[in-house]
Amino acid sequence: MEIPQNISAAVERLYDTYPFPPEPLLDEPPPGYNWRWNWLTAYSFCTGQKPQKQDIRILDAGCGTGVGTEYLVHLNPQAKVVGIDLSAGALSVARERCQRSGADRVEFHHLSLYDAQQLPGEFDLINCVGVLHHLPDPHRGIKSLAAKLAPGGLMHVFVYGELGRWEIKLMQEAIAILQGEQRGDYRDGVNLGRQIFAALPENNRLVKREKERWSWENQRDACFADMYVHPQEVDYNIDTLFELIDASGLDFIGFSNPQNWQLERLLGNNPELIARAKDLSERQLYRLLELLDPEVVSHYEFFLTRPPLKRVDWSSDERLKAAIPELNSCLHGWPSQSLFNYDYQLVKLSDSEFEFLKLCEINSAERRPIGEILNSMDLDLDGVRSLLSQQLILLTPGGVK
């Protein structure tokens, strides 16, 4: 079986064969959260402040079976959500998923990313996870989405990184060679790939990488097919990633996993090396980081915006004292002094931090400024800044509702 000349048709057929992601359907809202899909938390991460509106429009571009779409609806109770995808089979699952869990503020359209201009209006938040790298022309795809982003809106993007997926690329090519004329028969490709992994020695580099990083999710055929027999994949490095970003015409805000992009994480024990890196451009610094730690960069996840996007600097004590704090809803284990933050990282709170957060929890109604709250407790402004840096609280500038 030959791969169709039309790559988009081949991709559509893959996801009709293996609807993706293959998560189970639930008769209740999905568990937990992804903070990148929560407008309040994502906006605060990007700007330092709580957004002034929550009745927004969200586009899930390349929604697949609706796993992310379902979260977008439940995490943003005032938003209207639209999902588009190339696969009719995946969309059928997405509709059932959202209907069963009560995610009723969503509409789906059978469209490619290239055809996003057919949707009316603009969107405040566009979510595009794991899609652009499967397009024949990713630059055209991101331009199409960028044209639908409202001024001051956010676009969250996830694409593959070449360095951390090196072994995957080798296995993809090996399966394609052995498939020969049967390439494009995705079920055969999955079966063949599993046979190869089973036959290879345990100390084989491809086997070791699969076992340590991917094997748990690849127990499901849909995940294995998406990783190893996909008909179209573009993997990026920092240089080509920013070519994609520049093509969008949007502004780069930053990576949504910033902890991976701190040079001190790798070279912090050598001040001379840190000093040598201080004059590097942002992009040179990112390139250095991925060269030094390639296994971590299996993907890039980041936010873009269409200006103007107002960001708040909380270095002024007076400005911080006047701000209205609220508790971030993306916390797991609250109320407790040991909890998981927005990114599911363990945080241990001091007594004063815990008391401050308890007051923040009720402050959306009381709207007391930070200065007033601190008058009655043992916590200083640096402590508040620490809570903000961990995304435990959301701030509204004083005088803004």
Check which CATH number belongs to the domain holding 276 and give it: 3.40.50.150
For residues 324 and 368, is the Cβ–Cβ distance under 8 A?
yes
Q: What is the structure's pLDDT at 1?
A: 41
pLDDT at 247 over 60: yes
Q: What is the structure's pLDDT at 4?
A: 44
In a domain, 82, yes or no: yes
Please tell me whether residues 30 and 174 are part of one structural domain.
no
For residues 55 and 63, is the Cβ–Cβ distance under 8 A?
no
Q: Which ranges constitute the DSSP H helices of 341-380?
A: 351-361, 363-366, 370-374
pLDDT at 278 over 90: yes
pLDDT digits (tens, 9 = 90+) for 334-380: 999 999 999 999 999 999 999 999 999 999 899 999 999 999 899 99
pLDDT digits (tens, 9 = 90+) for 88-147: 999 999 999 999 999 999 999 999 999 999 999 999 999 999 999 999 999 999 999 999
Give me the domain span that covers residue 293: 7-162+235-305
Please tell me whether residues 35 and 96 are part of one structural domain.
yes
In a domain, 2, yes or no: no
Q: What is the structure's pLDDT at 200?
A: 98
Q: Choose one of 228, 243, 271: the last residue of a domain.
A: 228
pLDDT at 220 over 50: yes
For residues 200 and 338, is the Cβ–Cβ distance under 8 A?
no
Please tell me whether residues 130 and 70 are part of one structural domain.
yes
State the helix-helix crossing angle for 186-199 and 221-228, rounded to 10 degrees: 90
Please tell me whether residues 138 and 271 are part of one structural domain.
yes
Please tell me whether residues 136 and 277 are part of one structural domain.
yes
DSSP symbol at 230: -
pLDDT digits (tens, 9 = 90+) for 142-185: 999 999 999 999 999 999 999 999 999 999 999 999 999 999 99
In a domain, 95, yes or no: yes
Pairing of strands 149-160, 251-255: unpaired
Please tell me whether residues 97 and 42 are part of one structural domain.
yes
Pairing of strands 123-129, 324-327: unpaired
Say how far apart CA 182 and CA 188 lie, in whole Å.
8
pLDDT digits (tens, 9 = 90+) for 304-342: 999 999 999 999 999 999 999 999 999 999 999 999 999
Q: What is the structure's pLDDT at 197?
A: 98
Say how far apart CA 248 and CA 285 lie, in whole Å.
22
In a domain, 401, yes or no: no
Q: What is the structure's pLDDT at 160?
A: 98
Q: What is the structure's pLDDT at 364?
A: 85
Please tell me whether residues 344 and 273 are part of one structural domain.
no
Buried-exposed string 243-280: b where 16+ CB fall within 10 A, e elsewhere: ebbeebebebbeebeeebbebeeebeeeeeeeeeeeee
Tokens, residue 37: 């899909």
In a domain, 124, yes or no: yes
- Residues making up the chain, counted from first to last: 401
| Amino acid at position 241, single letter | L
pLDDT at 229 over 60: yes
pLDDT at 276 over 80: yes
β-bridge partners, 83: 60, 108
Q: Choose one of 283, 305, 327: the last residue of a domain.
A: 305
Tokens 């407008």 correspond to 39
For residues 87 and 16, is the Cβ–Cβ distance under 8 A?
yes
| Confidence label for 3 from pLDDT (cuts 50, 70 and 90) | very low
Please tell me whether residues 39 and 49 are part of one structural domain.
yes
Q: Choose one of 181, 207, 228: the last residue of a domain.
A: 228
Q: What is the structure's pLDDT at 400?
A: 56
Helices (H) and strands (E) in the chain, counts: 18, 11
For residues 318 and 397, is the Cβ–Cβ distance under 8 A?
no
The tally of domains found in the chain comes to 3
- 114 CB-contact burial (10 Å; exposed 0-12 / middle 13-18 / buried 19+): middle
Please tell me whether residues 43 and 189 are part of one structural domain.
no
- Strand, helix or coil at 269? coil
**Percent of the chain clearing pLDDT 70 (strictly above):** 98
The mean pLDDT of 247-254, rounded to a whole number, is 98
Please tell me whether residues 46 and 127 are part of one structural domain.
yes
The mean pLDDT of 262-281, rounded to a whole number, is 97
Tokens, residue 290: 């991925």
Q: What is the structure's pLDDT at 103?
A: 97
Q: What is the structure's pLDDT at 5?
A: 52
Say how far apart CA 96 and CA 119 lie, in whole Å.
22
Please tell me whether residues 55 and 142 are part of one structural domain.
yes
Torsion, CA 270, CA 275, CA 280, CA 283, rounded to 10? 30
Q: Which ranges constitute the DSSP H helices of 210-251?
A: 221-228, 238-248
In a domain, 19, yes or no: yes
DSSP symbol at 213: I
In a domain, 311, yes or no: no
In a domain, 208, yes or no: yes
Q: What is the structure's pLDDT at 2?
A: 43
Please tell me whether residues 118 and 52 are part of one structural domain.
yes
- 299 CB-contact burial (10 Å; exposed 0-12 / middle 13-18 / buried 19+): middle
